[in-house]
Amino acid sequence: MKLLRYGPIGQENHGIMDENGDIRCLSSIVPDINGDTLSSQLGKIRATDLSSLPVVSSDVRYGACVGKVGKFLCVGLNYADHAAESGMPIPAEPEIFTKATSAICGPNDHVVQPKNSDKLDWEVELAIVIGKHSSYITEQQAEDHIAGYCVCNDVSERTFQLEKGSQWDKGKGCDTFGPIGPWLVTSDEVNDPNNLSMWLEVNGKRFQNGNTNTMVFKPAFIVSYLSQFMSLQPGDIISTGTPPGVGLGQTPPLYLKPGDKMSLSIEGLGEQHQTVVECAK
């Protein structure tokens, strides 16, 4: 299933993409696409005759594909070639940081360049969406705890991240730094999350062109690993790292500025399109 949320910012409704590519409203079936629905009501959606649901306009705004996210966790340096371009060693264990949930936005919303930002960067990433309470689970159990996957742009401000102390979170959690969607694709429709092609373009030029098969730590391992340190709740999001080709890794480095346009996609999970705008505050 391709589950989504749509409508004006802060007033999102929720729906499902049918086999013809039409959005069908799910408001009469479940209250939202959030942790409660993912943990207990996916079967109800699957049993629904989608043709009986109202069709939503195709030009609607897509919101973040998961609502009321509790935790937004990320894995850094999870592609060996990206670690090399960043001048950092491959971690022996997953490098974990958080993005503020207030960074979450729709997949095609504007990305706002923060005040005092001069090194705004892009990162196409596969994001895991948790479907079950997970605590001390094994890698073998982990796949059953994943509700699905979505595209994430782990927008980053490198000055904030790398030049203002050792806490990466400062360069990761600014408003609009976490576009997710357009859809949450349930895990039963993702044949192999360990072998998905992915790409990102800036102003029509392709900078990232990778595949999840080069991840150092795979999704099931990441979920199991994180569950040893904290419980994971339905609706939590884990972004799993980016392949090479980020702005930091260009020669010379290349960073985003207002007016730049990003497009990014992961095989089977849809596309995102964002324009960078200047902070108005």
Query: Could you read off the pLDDT of 16-37 as tens digits, one per residue?
Result: 999 999 999 999 999 999 999 9
What pLDDT, on the 0 to 100 scale, is given for residue 30?
Answer: 98
Which tens digits make up the pLDDT trace of 139-187? 999 999 999 999 999 999 999 999 998 888 999 999 999 999 999 999 9
What pLDDT, on the 0 to 100 scale, is given for residue 161?
Answer: 94
CA distances from 160 to 171, 174, 231, 277 (A): 4, 10, 29, 18
Element (H, E) at 38: helix 35-40
Q: Which distant-in-sequence residues (6+ apart) come within 8 Å of 268 by Cβ?
A: 185, 189, 190, 196
Q: CA neighbours within 13 Å on the CB side: how many for 253?
A: 17
Q: Which distant-in-sequence residues (6+ apart) come within 8 Å of 251 by Cβ?
A: none
Q: Does 138 score more than 80 pLDDT?
A: yes
- pTM score of the predicted model: 0.96
What pLDDT, on the 0 to 100 scale, is given for residue 90?
Answer: 85
Domains and CATH numbers, the chain: 2-56 (no CATH), 72-278 (3.90.850.10)
What's the whole-number mean pLDDT along residues 189-214? Answer: 97
DSSP state of 32: -
Element (H, E) at 146: strand 146-153
CA angle 190, 191, 196 (to 5 degrees): 75
Q: CA neighbours within 13 Å on the CB side: how many for 84?
A: 7
Q: Does 50 score more than 80 pLDDT?
A: yes
What's the whole-number mean pLDDT along residues 9-16? Answer: 97
Q: Does 281 score more than 80 pLDDT?
A: no
CA distances from 280 to 39, 114, 180, 258 (A): 39, 9, 23, 12
As beta bridge partners, residue 126 has 151
What's the whole-number mean pLDDT along residues 185-203? Answer: 97
What's the whole-number mean pLDDT along residues 270-281? Answer: 94
The answer to whether 102 touches 173, Cβ cutoff 8 Å, is yes
Q: Does 87 score more than 90 pLDDT?
A: no
Question: The dihedral of CA 174, 276, 116, 78: what is its sign?
Answer: positive
Q: How far is Cα 161 from Cα 281, in angstroms, rounded to an integer?
A: 21
The answer to whether 172 touches 161, Cβ cutoff 8 Å, is yes
Q: CA neighbours within 13 Å on the CB side: how many for 96?
A: 15
What's the whole-number mean pLDDT along residues 75-102? Answer: 89
| Mean pLDDT across the chain | 96
Alpha helices in 97-153 (DSSP H): 139-142
What pLDDT, on the 0 to 100 scale, is given for residue 80?
Answer: 83
What pLDDT, on the 0 to 100 scale, is given for residue 86?
Answer: 78
Nearest to 66 by CA among 185, 174, 172: 185
Question: Which residue type does 250 have?
Answer: Q
What pLDDT, on the 0 to 100 scale, is given for residue 85?
Answer: 79
Q: Does 89 score more than 90 pLDDT?
A: no
CA angle 105, 106, 107 (to 5 degrees): 120
State CA 53 to chain mean position distance.
Answer: 28
What pLDDT, on the 0 to 100 scale, is given for residue 165?
Answer: 85
Which tens digits make up the pLDDT trace of 212-262? 999 999 999 999 999 999 999 999 999 999 999 999 999 999 999 999 999
What pLDDT, on the 0 to 100 scale, is given for residue 84?
Answer: 80
Assign 88 a pLDDT band (cuts: 50, 70, 90). Answer: confident
